[in-house]
């Protein structure tokens, strides 16, 4: 034996050599477990051996007669398999050759001799031994017609399998076809096929030759079908790749030929370069874009990066770098357009006229940022559209409501799949002008989440000092937005971040009065809806009285959207009647409205009853306009509890607590029991409990209600009030005075108490409201109590104990008597 064929000596203890067969025909041989392999009788197989236990069994076999028992283990990951981990059928083999490998293992060649059944395993020594029962092979007669057919079929299948896999030389098939032993043929095919070791084990355990041959044939048939499908898939893939490669080669040849002929006028790269140079951009921008064209020229055909670069260049070149519209600076023409499109809104129109006048005298002035703030339906968006028409600017509108992603404003990096510019640059590109009017609708409804804060992304665009070099993440080059006129709209400024709000000039659009709604309906809404529904003034007429009735009985809003819907409903009813032949024209009067619009939605708002104890008229602001709230308070014997009901917010609850604290500090002057906070329970209730209420402006109202409940003094029914109160009784200013006073007028209020610091706001109130109401300005809660409570003369809390009452003027500004 050569030096390389020496195997370490087998251990002295345990079965070092093959034990002679016992009387029962069994034999004890060294055991080697195979992982993922199966050997068959009369077959030769080579494999590597690395496990220490297997090397020890190999050494024991080499020192004996080279006999060894091989069987397959069920779990290939098992390192030290026992009897239960091994298949019960194996093969007694002869060790033919072994060679050491570099990693310390052995490369062995085994020849299978005979099937044997595993009876027991002994792992007590340094190598495993197995007691096995040799099995005599079953012989079968292959001379019959059916047997011959089965043999030929198996050989034919194996030949087809070999052609598909190419793992056996064709001469072997010729020798196999001459064999007449079906058992040998089955074992040979199983040994030389890429079947799973579990399938090969199934063949090994089948002792009957023809049954074994049938099983092999069935397995080969399935494998052949799988191999055919794999070959078909590979052929299609190879054909597709070949076609693509062929197209690439042809296109490269065309490009080379065009370059040789000098016929490269149609080159996209040169076309991009020409367009970039014609724009006369800044040096930084031009160099950046030309570098992108160079990258495009170096890209191989079919590269994914090519499409990205082309999309980027197309997007950049579509921007209106040098395109502007001639701005109309005619103040008179602008005023005519604004007056034609909108009724009222004098402050808004005046600000726009001022802006246009400045542009007329200073054409180089940068674009401004205006913010139109007002309740829904008052015409914020339509005012912005009218401004664009008046100034002859292109209009681009983008709604910001519900936007949560910062990339929606500043764009996505072009390295991302599906990247695109932000909404600002997209709107500018769509307008086709570098000086459009960009309408940012619903800016107060911007959101923020883990993807960033869109409102912060707007800071650069809306800052006149920065937007001359606005950089979109997708474009990566600065774009001048200083000539863009930004107009934003919002329902409230409370949700707009302070830094963003600081960059905008606020213009408030107040709620419409009933008279303004009437004029808007006559001048705009009714003609618009008649035209939309195929009617004219001859077929449908709606009187002023009917419009007023619709405003008071079917709508309750700050704007005119609901009013327009009701007018549209009348138009539809008219169309239906005319189409049915019931009438030819219709003149709508007040008494016809229930038939056309259904049951009246809102009852007439008027004061009912007389002055009551603990019931005070308060004024509140809502998004739909002003409202009057009747605050109720009762005092009962108890333990000093303060109960607040009516779906109140935290601020309003704190106002109630402040009012009670103020009253406790003034018990003596008010003639109230000093221990009322211990022996009286006070319940304050705001009706319409389903509607959330919050804010500090109900402070004076709550104070009057509680004092009235504790003293028993009635509160004037024809009086309403608003104002925030402090612990010391000071009355602080409030907002929404215009809407609140309009609500007071609707309910039939005669006198309104307002904080003295809100006196300048009376100039902003509609003249109709000013003439109908008396306004009393107050600085202290004592003044409020003196004006609101009906106190009998000589009572502990009569008017003498309060601060001097303020004087009032009918229909004019109130003044304070010092």
Cβ atoms 224, 160 nearer than 8 A: yes
DSSP result, 163-226: HHH--S-HHHHHHHHT---HHHHHHHHHHTS---HHHHHHHHT--SHHHHHHHHHHHHHHHHHH
Among 680, 740, 774, 808, the active-site one is 740
Residue 809, CA distances (Å) to 679, 736, 792, 816 in order: 42, 22, 25, 11
Query: Distance between CA 614 and CA 630 in Å, rounded?
Result: 10
Residue 380, CA distances (Å) to 490, 562, 625 in order: 8, 16, 16
Question: Helix (H, G, I), strand (E, B), or coil: what is residue 93?
Answer: strand
- For tokens 């319409």, the residue is 688
Q: Burial of 392 by CB count in 10 Å (0-12 exposed, 13-18 middle, 19+ buried)? A: middle
Query: Distance between CA 421 and CA 433 in Å, rounded?
Result: 17
Query: Distance between CA 411 and CA 17 in Å, rounded?
Result: 80
Structure tokens at 557: 């809003």
Give the alpha-carbon dihedral of 238, 241, 247, 249, to 10 degrees.
-90
Cβ atoms within 10 Å, residue 366 = 16
Query: Distance between CA 816 and CA 797 in Å, rounded?
Result: 22
| Active site (annotated) includes residue 455 | no
Sign of CA dihedral 768, 770, 771, 773: positive
Q: What is the 3-state secondary structure (H, E, C) of 475-523?
A: CCCEECCCCCEEEEEECCCCCCCHHHHHCCEEEECCCCCHHHHHHHHHH
Query: Distance between CA 539 and CA 583 in Å, rounded?
Result: 9
CA-atom Rg of the chain in angstroms: 49
Cβ atoms 461, 484 nearer than 8 A: no
Residue 389, CA distances (Å) to 129, 331, 333, 441, 801 in order: 101, 13, 10, 18, 62
Query: Distance between CA 686 and CA 693 in Å, rounded?
Result: 9
Query: Distance between CA 746 and CA 21 in Å, rounded?
Result: 119
Question: What is the phi-psi region of residue 353: left when phi exceeds 0, alpha when psi lies from -120 to 50, beta otherwise?
Answer: alpha
Cβ atoms within 10 Å, residue 122 = 15
Q: What is the 3-state secondary structure (H, E, C) of 691-728?
A: CCECCCCCHHHHHHHHHHHHHCCEECCCEEECCEECCC
Among 129, 431, 655, 697, the active-site one is 697
Q: Burial of 3 by CB count in 10 Å (0-12 exposed, 13-18 middle, 19+ buried)? A: exposed
Question: Helix (H, G, I), strand (E, B), or coil: what is residue 415?
Answer: coil
Query: Distance between CA 395 and CA 428 in Å, rounded?
Result: 9
| Active site (annotated) includes residue 74 | no
Which helix (H) or strand (E) is 631 found in, with range? strand 625-637
The beta strand positions in 691-817, using DSSP E, are 714-715, 719-721, 724-725, 731-732, 751-755, 774-778, 809-810
| Phi, psi angles (nearest 5°) of residue 213 | -65, -40
Query: Distance between CA 22 and CA 15 in Å, rounded?
Result: 15
Question: Helix (H, G, I), strand (E, B), or coil: what is residue 677?
Answer: helix
Annotated catalytic residues are 697, 740
């Amino acid at each position: 034996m050569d030096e390389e064929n020496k195997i370490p000596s087998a251990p002295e203890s345990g079965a070092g050599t093959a034990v002679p067969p016992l009387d029962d025909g069994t034999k004890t041989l060294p055991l080697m477990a195979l992982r993922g392999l199966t050997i068959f009788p009369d077959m030769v197989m080579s494999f590597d051996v690395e496990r220490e236990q297997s090397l020890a069994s190999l050494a024991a076999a080499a020192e004996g007669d080279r006999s060894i028992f091989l069987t397959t283990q069920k779990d290939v990951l098992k390192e030290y398999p026992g009897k239960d981990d091994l298949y019960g059928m194996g093969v007694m083999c002869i060790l033919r050759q072994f060679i050491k490998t570099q990693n310390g293992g052995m490369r062995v060649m085994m020849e299978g001799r005979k099937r044997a059944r595993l009876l027991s395993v002994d792992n007590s020594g340094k190598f495993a031994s197995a007691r096995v029962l040799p099995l005599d092979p079953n012989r079968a007669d292959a001379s019959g017609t059916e047997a011959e057919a089965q043999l030929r079929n198996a050989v034919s299948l194996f030949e087809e399998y070999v052609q598909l896999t190419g793992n056996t030389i064709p001469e072997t098939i010729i020798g196999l076809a001459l064999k007449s032993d079906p058992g040998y043929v089955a074992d040979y095919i199983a040994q030389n096929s890429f079947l799973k070791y579990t399938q090969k084990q199934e063949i090994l355990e089948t002792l009957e030759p023809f049954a074994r041959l049938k099983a092999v044939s069935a397995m080969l048939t399935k494998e052949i079908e799988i191999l055919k499908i794999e070959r078909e898939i590979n052929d299609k893939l190879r054909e597709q790749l070949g076609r693509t490669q062929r197209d690439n080669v042809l296109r490269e040849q065309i490009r080379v030929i065009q370059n040789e002929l000098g016929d490269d006028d149609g080159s996209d790269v040169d076309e991009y370069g020409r367009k970039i140079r014609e724009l006369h951009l800044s040096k930084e921008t031009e160099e950046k874009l030309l570098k992108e064209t160079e990258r495009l020229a170096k890209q191989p055909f079919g590269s994914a990066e090519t499409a990205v670069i082309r999309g980027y260049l197309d997007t950049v070149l579509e921007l209106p770098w040098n395109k502007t519209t001639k701005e109309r600076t005619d103040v008179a023409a602008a005023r005519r357009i604004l007056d034609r499109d909108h009724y009222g809104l004098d402050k808004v129109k005046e600000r726009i006229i001022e802006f246009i006048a400045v542009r007329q005298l200073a054409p180089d002035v940068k674009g401004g940022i205006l913010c139109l703030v007002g309740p829904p339906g008052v015409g914020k968006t339509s005012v912005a559209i009218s401004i664009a028409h008046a100034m002859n600017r292109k209009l681009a509108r983008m709604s910001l409501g519900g936007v949560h992603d910062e990339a929606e404003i500043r764009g996505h990096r072009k390295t991302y799949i599906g990247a695109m510019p932000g909404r600002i640059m997209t709107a500018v590109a769509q307008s086709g002008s570098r000086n459009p009017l960009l309408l940012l609708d619903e800016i107060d409804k911007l959101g923020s989440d883990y993807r960033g804060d869109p409102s912060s992304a707007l800071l650069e665009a809306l800052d006149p000092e920065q937007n001359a070099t606005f950089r979109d993440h997708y474009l990566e080059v600065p774009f001048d937005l200083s000539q863009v006129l930004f107009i934003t709209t919002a329902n409230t400024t409370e949700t707009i971040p302070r830094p963003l709000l600081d960059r905008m000039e606020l213009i408030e659009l107040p709620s419409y009065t009933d008279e303004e709604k009437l004029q808007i309906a006559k001048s705009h809404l009714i003609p618009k809806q008649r035209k939309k529904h195929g009617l004219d003034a001859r077929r449908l007429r709606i009187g002023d009285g009917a419009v007023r009735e619709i405003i008071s009985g079917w709508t309750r809003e700050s704007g005119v959207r609901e009013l327009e819907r009701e007018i549209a409903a009348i138009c539809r009813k008219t169309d239906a009647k005319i189409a049915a032949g019931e009438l030819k024209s219709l003149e709508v009067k007040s008494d016809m409205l229930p038939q056309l619009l259904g049951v009246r939605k809102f009852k007439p708002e008027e004061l009912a009853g007389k002055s009551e104890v603990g019931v005070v008229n308060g004024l509140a602001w809502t998004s739909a306009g002003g409202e009057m709230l009747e605050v109720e308070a009762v005092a009962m014997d108890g333990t000093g509890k303060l109960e607040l009901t009516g779906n109140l917010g935290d601020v309003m609850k704190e106002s109630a607590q402040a009012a009670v604290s103020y009253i406790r500090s003034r018990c003596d002057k008010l003639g109230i029991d000093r221990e009322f906070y211990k022996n009286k329970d006070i319940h304050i209730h705001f009706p319409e409990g389903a509607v959330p209420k919050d804010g500090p402006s109900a402070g004076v109202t709550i104070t009057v209600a509680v004092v009235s409940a504790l003293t028993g003094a009635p509160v004037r029914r024809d009086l309403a009030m608003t104002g925030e109160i402090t612990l010391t009784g000071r009355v602080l200013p409030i907002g929404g005075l215009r809407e609140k006073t309009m609500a007071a007028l609707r309910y039939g209020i005669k006198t309104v108490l307002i904080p003295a610091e809100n006196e300048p706001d009376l100039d902003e109130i509609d003249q109709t409201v000013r003439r109908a109401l008396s306004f009393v300005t107050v600085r202290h809660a004592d003044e409020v109590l003196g004006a609101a409570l009906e106190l009998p003369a000589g009572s502990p809390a009569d008017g003498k104990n309060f601060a001097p009452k303020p004087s009032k003027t009918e229909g004019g500004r109130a003044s304070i008597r010092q």
